[in-house]
Amino acid sequence: MGKFQHKYGATFPVSAALYKKTQKLIVSVRQNPEGLTKRNEVVEIVNALTAEGLEYFFHYSLKIIGMNMIAKKAIKTGMAASKATVKLLSKKFIRALNDKQLLATVDFIDGFVSD
């Protein structure tokens, strides 16, 4: 578990493949945080976690409550815009992190991605 733990929290399920990939990346970055490749891998994980989180909190919940098609389309458009924004910002800022900041980032991710 990462050092950014809280008493209470809200989470979303992630696929087994994303969980394994995330845990593998956390170990890899902690062993050696150097290089653009590691930063690109963290960007990829952040984007994948964002996509699965949005899918769960919005798309899945819409299915449960039976929203009409117009509302679903509006929310899907908003989700797409959110994903695009996160993708752009994560790429820009995570690539610019120094090693210490990258380690703090994976600690943060580790704090909320658990089994």
As a whole number of angstroms, the distance between CA 105 and CA 99 comes to: 10
What's the gap between Cα 41 and its chain centre? 12
Q: What beta strand segments (E) does the chain contain?
A: none
pLDDT in single tens digits along all 115 residues of the chain: 445 555 666 788 899 999 999 999 999 999 999 999 999 999 999 999 999 999 888 878 888 888 888 888 888 899 899 999 999 999 999 999 999 999 999 999 998 887 7
pTM over 0.95: no
Provide the terminal-to-terminal Cα distance of the chain, rounded to the nearest Å.
Answer: 10
